[in-house]
Amino acid sequence: MWQNLSLRGRINLLLALLLALGLAVNIGRQIAEAGPRVQAEDQSVIRLAREFIEMIVADLNEAPDPDARLNQIARDLSRLRHVSIALHDSGGNPLTHRRLGSDVDTRAPPAWFVSLVHPEQTAVSVPVSIRGKPGSLVITSHPDDEIAEIWDGIVTQLEVGSVIALALFLLMMKVVGRALAPLQSLADAMGKLESGHYEARVAPGGAPELAAICTRLNHLAATLGEAVEDKRRLAERAVSLQDIERKEIARELHDEFGPYLFSLRAHASALAKQADGREPSADAVRKHGSAMLEQINALQQFNRRVLERLRPVGLAELGLRQALESLSRLWRESRPDVAIQTSISPALGPTGETADLTIYRIVQEALTNVFRHAGATTVRVVIEPVEQAGGRCCARVRVSDNGRGMEPGQKLGFGLVGMRERILALGGTLNVVSGEGGVTVEALVPTAAT
């Protein structure tokens, strides 16, 4: 049952139990103190009545009318409570009896309470002499009235205490309800977030802790919304980049591969005509054959470039280090006026196929931008392992040049934008910093060791 109760129900139940326990402890204390109270009251009344009677009966015989005086004494003693006074002769036989203090309007206590208190009736005899006749005034205690009064006080306390406890409970229920009101809003907002409605927000309210939770949930919802939007843009950008890549490959095939094929076809047709002639010209055959070889060599280079763009040649077979060295060597051969310094840390272990390809593409794209736009004379490539917070291992790739840098407000090209989105999809980062000393491209690529 406790597990099925809501937080509000649990708090209200605990408050009710605490109030009930406090009331029960107070009533139990009064019941436990009832016996000593009755006994103390009984002894006090008996002692007071005895002292008063002993004081006033000393000159009883000197009164003109002792009987009237005795009745007057009885009337004076009527102010005392919880006792009865009886006049006995010398033989102990009662002559008169007067019960005092028995007209108190109280509720009759239950038998278990009377039995719990255990009242003991006390009787005290005060000797008197009227006209030479010995007798006694017997004072007898009657604790029933005191017990009834105590019980009446307990019942009254129970009634008043119950009303006060109920009022406190209702007040605390209202306070707890107002304090925990944001919990339902939080639950509704979380349900909307779970359904994909990231625009859901919660109005901060209630206790400071709950208000802080509401604020953080709103921030989390906004962050999730931005992340989902970034993911959507990333997927859209990936599709767009794929389309752009296909268009570029199609254009290159059309602009370069097509003319080469047309030229080969023309030379092959010319050779066929030479073969059909009666006297083939050796010079013509040699000319057409040489042209065809040149076209085939050009096709092979073009095919290599296309394959390099689709998949780095030798990356899977030779590994990342050898593939990067081969890439640097190709650039050095084509641009001997630019010094390329490549440094790969020996501590860089296996990074995984995806990380290898990403690192290679970053270096390839950065070098391509340097040779196309930077006008640099020196390029430095550094690859080293780093460990981020949480023990995640990454490879830091830094490509810097001493070129002219980027123009103010210049946007990144499609290549670097595609690289950034690719790295973000892997959980890494890519930053481009441009200054007077050139451009630095730095990326953190998560490796397979994470």
Model pLDDT for residues 203-244, shown as the tens digit of each residue: 887 677 778 888 888 888 888 888 888 777 767 776 676 777
Task: Give the pLDDT confidence score for residue 129 in this predicted structure.
Answer: 67
Instruction: Give the range among 67-81, 95-109, 381-395, 403-417 with minimum mean pLDDT.
Output: 95-109
Q: Are 332 and 340 in contact (CB under 8 A)?
A: yes
d(CA 82, CA 143): 6
Q: Are 312 and 357 in contact (CB under 8 A)?
A: yes
d(CA 301, CA 442): 31
Task: Give the pLDDT confidence score for residue 90 in this predicted structure.
Answer: 62
Q: Which amino acid is at 435?
A: G
Task: Give the pLDDT confidence score for residue 99 in this predicted structure.
Answer: 47
Which helix or strand (DSSP H or E) is residue 101 part of? none
What integer is the mean pLDDT of 62-72? 69
374-403 pLDDT tens trace: 777 888 888 888 877 666 788 888 888 888
Angle, to 10 degrees, between the axis of helix 353-369 and the axis of helix 320-334?
10
Domain 320-450, classified CATH 3.30.565.10, yes or no: yes
Domain 2-179, classified CATH 3.30.450, yes or no: yes
User: Would residue 427 be called left, alpha or beta, if left means φ above 0 and alpha means ψ between -120 and 50 degrees?
Assistant: left
d(CA 51, CA 1): 64
Task: Give the pLDDT confidence score for residue 103 in this predicted structure.
Answer: 46
For the chain, the distance separating the N- and C-terminal CA atoms, rounded to the nearest angstrom, is: 45
d(CA 143, CA 39): 8
Does the CA dihedral 105-107-108-112 come out positive or negative? negative
Task: Give the pLDDT confidence score for residue 100 in this predicted structure.
Answer: 44
What integer is the mean pLDDT of 300-309? 72
Q: Please, what is the Cα angle at 164 between 158 and 168, to 5 degrees?
A: 140
Q: Please, what is the Cα angle at 150 between 144 and 156, to 5 degrees?
A: 135
| Pairing status of strand 94-100 against strand 83-89 | antiparallel
Closest Cα partner for 55 from 126, 149, 133? Answer: 126
312-332 pLDDT tens trace: 666 666 777 888 888 888 778
Percent of the chain with pLDDT over 90: 0
Q: What is the overall mean pLDDT for the chain? A: 76
246 has a pLDDT exceeding 80? no
What integer is the mean pLDDT of 188-197? 82
260-299 pLDDT tens trace: 777 878 878 877 777 776 666 777 777 878 888 887 887 7
In sequence order, which ranges of 253-319 are alpha helices (DSSP H)?
Answer: 258-276, 282-310, 315-318
The CB density around residue 62, as the number of other CB atoms within 10 Å, is 8
Q: Are 399 and 380 in contact (CB under 8 A)?
A: yes
Task: Give the pLDDT confidence score for residue 198 in this predicted structure.
Answer: 79
Q: Are 37 and 116 in contact (CB under 8 A)?
A: no
For residue 409, what is the DSSP state? T
Task: Give the pLDDT confidence score for residue 295 in this predicted structure.
Answer: 79
